[in-house]
Amino acid sequence: MSATRADTIHRWWALNIGNRKVPAARALSARLRRASRIEALAEPAVQGLGRALSLQDPVALAGLAQVLANVRTSTGKPLARALGAGEPPALSTLRFQRLIRAGGDELPAALRRALPMVDHACNVGALGSDLLLWSHPEHGDSVRARWCFQYFGAAAPVSLESEVSQ
């Protein structure tokens, strides 16, 4: 059985930046959080992630690495579900709607601003996989629709849930 994209992303995150008690992981995470796109792409670990995912889009690879550097704890909870939890929700409905409309260059920055609202904790593999599919012409609307269901704590149709495992 081959690893899913989410599994590959989670494994890379855990190995390279997940354990902030390790000085090298803490340093890489800090560099990626402050890096420009080009500086992020100059990191050997980021290039390793690109190879592992067969990802040729430099903007997507840099954005993915920079968002992952802002996750401190990987949980089983999707980011959208965490953002919608609580009363009031961790991220207001208006800000969530802006996040859902974000695309291209706006999305990584919007996600990096949203992560502190949930103590930098979410399902890192699902987040990374969704980030890569977000602007995809065939899958982007499905990902956004699934996030809407998750944010509001509703069960998403099975057809939307299958996107994570690609």
Per-residue pLDDT, 19: 94
pLDDT in tens, the chain (166 residues): 457 999 999 999 999 999 999 999 999 999 999 999 999 999 999 999 999 999 999 999 999 999 999 999 999 999 999 999 999 999 999 999 999 999 878 999 999 999 999 999 999 999 999 999 998 888 999 999 999 999 999 887 777 765 444 4
DSSP for 66-88, written as a single string: HHHTT--EE-SS-HHHHHH-TTT
Helix, strand, or coil (residue 58): helix
The domain spans of the chain are 5-165
Per-residue pLDDT, 161: 65
∠3-68-161 over CA atoms, to 5°? 50
Give Cβ neighbours of residue 122 (< 8 Å, ≥ 6 apart).
Answer: 71, 74, 75, 77, 78, 79, 82, 115
Question: b vs e for 89-98, b when ≥16 Cβ sit within 10 Å of the residue's Cβ?
Answer: bbbeeebbee
Per-residue pLDDT, 84: 97
Topology classification of domain 5-165: Peroxidase; domain 1 (1.10.520)
Query: With contact defined as beta carbons under 8 Å apart, do 122 and 79 qualify?
Result: yes
**Residue corresponding to tokens 């974000």:** 102
Per-residue pLDDT, 165: 43
C-alpha distance across the termini of the chain, in Å: 13
8-state DSSP, 136? -
Per-residue pLDDT, 164: 46
Where does residue 65 rank: exposed (0-12), middle (13-18), buried (19+ CB within 10 A)? Answer: buried
